[in-house]
């Protein structure tokens, strides 16, 4: 489940699923406030649609499978046809194996990118933003924490959370 974090200026005001964000934004509207709502997995700002959800449609539910065309050489098709479970199942297993193999290498890059997306959106004008960014991308976690120590507490704590905990 995707989780989100909402900020009013530099103050964290809500965390939770999209329904919690919709409630927080609706509460903020009478005060004339637009919250910045961040996707915890990407650090990017998400827009919130405050309209009521459409009624559920009839028919089969979507299964999340996308059909696409791929181009392979004849020897690849020959190999695939000889595998157990069919071409699609074999390709899914191969892709899943590569994803899990590369997960460790991507972990640092993803958390840096996520943290930077959040920082640049909310804190680009905060003191030592550029130096904090350099420390973040250098994997200098102690230096990063030291540089952002004077930042507003909620911004600092959320940035540290993203930098350390992103999966």
> Which pLDDT belongs to residue 154?
97
> Which pLDDT belongs to residue 42?
93
Lowest mean pLDDT among 29-33, 70-74, 102-106: 102-106
Helices H / strands E in the chain, number of each: 6, 3
Residue 125 has pLDDT above 60, yes or no: yes
- Across 70-78, average pLDDT: 90
The 8-class DSSP code of residue 30 comes to G
Give the pLDDT band of residue 167 (cuts 50, 70, 90): very low
Exposure string (b/e) for 52-86, b if CB count within 10 Å is 16 or more? eeeeeeeeeeeeeeeeeeeeeeeeeeeebeeeeee
- Percent share of the chain, pLDDT over 70: 93
Residue 156 is inside which H or E element, if any? helix 153-165
Residue 153 has pLDDT above 70, yes or no: yes
Lowest mean pLDDT among 14-18, 107-111, 145-149: 107-111
The 10s digit of each residue's pLDDT in 85-105 is 888 889 989 988 888 777 666
- Across 58-68, average pLDDT: 75
Pick the more confident residue, 166 or 38.
Answer: 38
- Across 136-151, average pLDDT: 95
């Amino acid at each position: 489940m995707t989780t989100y974090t909402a900020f009013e200026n530099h103050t964290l005001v809500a965390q939770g699923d999209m329904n919690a964000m919709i409630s927080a934004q609706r509460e903020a509207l009478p005060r004339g406030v637009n919250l910045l709502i961040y996707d915890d997995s990407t650090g990017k700002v998400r827009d919130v649609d405050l309209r009521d959800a459409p009624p559920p449609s009839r028919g089969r539910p979507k299964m999340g499978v996308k059909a696409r065309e791929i181009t392979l050489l004849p020897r690849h098709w020959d190999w695939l046809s000889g595998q157990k479970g069919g071409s699609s199942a074999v390709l899914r297993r191969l892709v899943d194996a590569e994803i899990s193999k590369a997960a460790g290498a991507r972990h640092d890059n993803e958390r840096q990118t996520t943290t930077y997306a959040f920082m640049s959106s909310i804190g680009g004008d905060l003191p030592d933003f550029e130096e904090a960014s350099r420390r973040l991308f250098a994997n200098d976690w102690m230096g990063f924490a030291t540089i952002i120590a004077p930042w507003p507490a909620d911004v600092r704590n959320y940035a540290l959370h993203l930098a350390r905990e992103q999966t």
